[in-house]
A and B are shown apart, each in its own frame.
Chain A
Amino acid sequence: MFVSTGKELIEICNQQNISIWEYTIIQEIEKSESNHQSVINKMRSTLHVMMNSSTYAQENQVHSVSGLIGGDAYKIRQYANKNNTLTGEFMNRAMARALSSSEVNAAMGRIAACPTAGSCGILPAVVLSAGEKLNKSEDELINALFTAAGVGIIIAKNATLAGAEGGCQAECGSAAAMASAAVVEMMGGRPEQALSAAAIVIKNILGLVCDPVAGLVEVPCAKRNIAGTVSALTTADLVMSGIYSKIPFDEVVWAMHKVGKQMPSELRETALGGVAITPTALKYKKEIFKD
């Protein structure tokens, strides 16, 4: 059975001299009573869904069912090609990828929830952007998704991945933490560095509420996928420079869980608080549900 804490995960990986992704694959084969090939193939098809969702809305102007969001991934992609961006082509293309999956999701296209549909833009954007920059093979990208899943399993066991229970910190926060850990292992970082990255990402988003305008997975969700993507990528560099989280991963997850419990229900996906009840949000809601 998959270990229950980050501390145990680091210990077992170090004892066996394996990465988090290797440990996660071994556990999945055992749990599913399956074999290596079929577990890898299932993740390969997930990766392909991610590749499509993170590309489609960059090349096609995609609009949500409600009409509230759309066309922005296309805009950033056009902008990323210019030479005068502030954070460079890499970061702008990563942002475009994140927004693409979020827009495809809102437009009833096909996505892979990771860990949720609302946060489906982060992991593909981070892993595909880092993989492209570092010239990683498809198999290495698949491995990165297993690292992410392993970290996600620990969070799910000790806290929650649902916005309705823990706010956006539990959805986009967990997605970004999983993604950052995946890139750290992809860059050759050790398991303790991967979890350090996950801890830093969660600390930086701790307390983020879930306040969807009109109750829809669009505003502010899509842009929070961008924020999570940027945080995951920059934190991977931070950790690879030798910086560690002063608070261990398990304690950060504990804090996130506790903060989620302390959040009033108005700030947990009910659309009764936060930006969801601003005058402009209420105006949007009225327009969308007018009949």
Chain B
Amino acid sequence: MRNFSVFDIIGPIMIGPSSSHTAGAARLAKVAAAIAGKQIKRVEFLLHGSFSETYKGHGTDKALAAGILNMEPWDEDLKNSFEIAAKKGIEIIFTPADLGDVHPNTVKFIITKDDGSISMVTGSSIGGGNILIFDIDGQAVEFTGERPTLLTRHRDLPGVISKISSILYEENINIANMRVYRNEKGKMATMALETDSIITEEAMSRIKDIGEIDNVKFINPIVEEVI
């Protein structure tokens, strides 16, 4: 039996009308934007299932755009996200799609950046504003963004993970959960690592310096502070 917090019952504080179609959508897009990195030029949202059928009435489209703009799910500017995106010169496109046998509230983000590079992120809004990211650039992953999350793209060689965990240990950061994914032995691997505390700048720069690591991203949890 789950040990609920008071704030699972009374909360989240959010922009309506729907925790899964609005708050969860904003959260998904915010995490997708963090994964893509800065200077976003254009985003195409492939909307699946219930997202594609009811996105207009639930403001799912505005919430998704707001998340790309790094807004929190409780930001009252959320409903003005289209205008804000236009001012910033970010192109937003919504396309209904069939993403296969996935949760009914699923969206695939195709994010084009200023330098022309493209990031693709797929995730679902799984209820109560909670989310699950399950694909990044064609690589299966699985994380919720509820904890500080470190995402690495690294060469699949012995000792890489040990180097990362040693740095976290030296910085006194506890690992809550970690998973490594790869398509082929000895090539590139992806790791999603969730920690109990914020990953410090110091730890981040030391992890970036590990030779076998191609790319590392850090995603802050979207946690309500006292508003």
Is this pair of chains taken from one and the same complex?
yes
Find residues 113-149 in chain A having any chain B CB closer than 8 Å to their own CB.
113-118, 120, 123, 145-146, 148-149
A112 touching B11 in the complex, CB below 8 Å, given contacts A41-B226, A105-B17: yes
Residues of chain A contacted by B226 (CB below 8 angstroms): 41-42, 44-45
B1-28 interface code vs A (CB 8 A; 1 in, 0 out): 1111111111111111111001100000
A28 and B4 CA atoms in complex are apart in Å by 9
Known: A49-B227, A65-B57, A117-B19. A110 touches B74 (CB 8 A): yes
Is the pair B17, A46 in contact by a Cβ cutoff of 8 Å?
no
CB contacts under 8 Å to B, within A250-265, are: none
A197 beta carbon closer than 8 Å to chain B = no
Q: A2-B4, A45-B227, A65-B59 are in contact. Are A110 and B13 (CB under 8 A)?
A: yes
Which of A42, A45, A114, A153 is within 8 Å of B4, CB to CB? A153
Given contacts A215-B54, A216-B58, A289-B56, contact A28 B6 (CB under 8 A): yes
- Give every chain A residue within 8 A of B54 (Cβ-Cβ): 214-216
Q: Report if A176 contacts B (CB, 8 A).
A: no
CA–CA, A289 to B54, complex, Å? Answer: 8
Contact A114 B9 (CB under 8 A): yes
Question: Which chain A positions have C-beta within 8 A of B76?
Answer: 109-110
Residues of B within 8 A of A246 (CB): none
The residues in A between 58 and 100 inclusive whose CB is less than 8 angstroms from any CB of B are 64-66
Instruction: For residue A269, give the distance in angstroms from its CB to the closest CB of chain B.
Output: 10
A interface SS class: helix
Known: A41-B226, A49-B227, A152-B10. A4 touches B19 (CB 8 A): no
Interface magnitude class on chain B = 35 or more
Q: Considering the complex, give the chain B residue whose CB is closest to the CB of A157.
A: B1
Instruction: Identify B10's interface contact among A109, A115, A289, CB under 8 A.
Output: A115
For residue A275, CB closer than 8 A to chain B, the reply is no
Query: A112 contacts B57, CB within 8 Å?
Result: no
The complex places the Cα of A113 from the Cα of B161 at a distance, in Å, of: 40
| Chain B: CB-nearest residue to A161 | B9
Q: How far is the CA of A266 from the CA of B9 in the complex (A)?
A: 26
User: Is the CB–CB distance between A109 and B16 below 8 Å?
Assistant: yes
- In whole angstroms, what is the CA distance A226 to B5 when docked? 27
Q: Which residues of B have CB within 8 Å of A46?
A: 7, 10-11, 13
A175 to B215, CA, bound (A): 46
Decide: B6 and A110 in contact? CB cutoff 8 A: no
A108-B22, A108-B59, A157-B4 given as contacts; is B16 within 8 A of A120 (CB)?
Answer: yes
Q: Measured between C-beta atoms, what is the minimum distance from A229 to chain B in Å?
A: 16
- Are A4 and B10 closer than 8 Å at their CB atoms? no
Taking CB atoms and an 8 Å cut-off, the chain A residues in 145-202 that contact chain B are 145-146, 148-150, 152-153, 156-157, 161-162, 164, 178
Alpha-carbon separation in the docked complex, A118 to B58 (Å): 12
Q: Report chain A residues within 8 Å CB of B6.
A: 24, 28, 39, 43, 146, 149-150, 153
> Are the CB atoms of B17 and A106 closer together than 8 Å?
yes
**A 1-43 to B, binary, CB cutoff 8 A, 1 in contact else 0:** 1101000000000000000000010001001100000010111
| Alpha-carbon distance between A65 and B132 when the two chains are bound, in angstroms | 27
| Minimum CB–CB distance for B52 against chain A, Å | 11
- Asked if B53 is an interface residue, CB under 8 A from chain A, the answer is yes
CA distance A28 to B226 in the complex (A): 16
- Once the chains bind, are B16 and A104 in contact (CB under 8 Å)? yes
Residues in B with CB closer than 8 Å to A236 are none
- Contact residues, B45-86 vs A (CB, 8 A): 50, 53-54, 56-59, 62, 74, 76, 78-79
Q: A41, A149, A152: which has the most chain B beta carbons within 10 Å?
A: A149
Specify which chain B residues have a CB less than 8 angstroms from the CB of A42 in the assembled complex. Answer: 7, 224, 226
Q: Give the residues in chain B near A111, CB-CB below 8 Å.
A: 13-16
CB pair B10–A148 under 8 Å, yes or no, is: yes
Q: Which 8 A-B pairs have the closest CB atoms?
A: A105-B16, A152-B9, A108-B79, A149-B6, A217-B17, A216-B57, A45-B226, A28-B6
Given A39-B6, A214-B57, 5 other A-B contacts at CB below 8 A? A49-B227, A113-B14, A113-B128, A178-B9, A217-B18
Selected A-B contacts with CB under 8 Å, 8 pairs: A31-B5, A32-B5, A65-B57, A108-B15, A113-B19, A115-B9, A156-B8, A156-B9
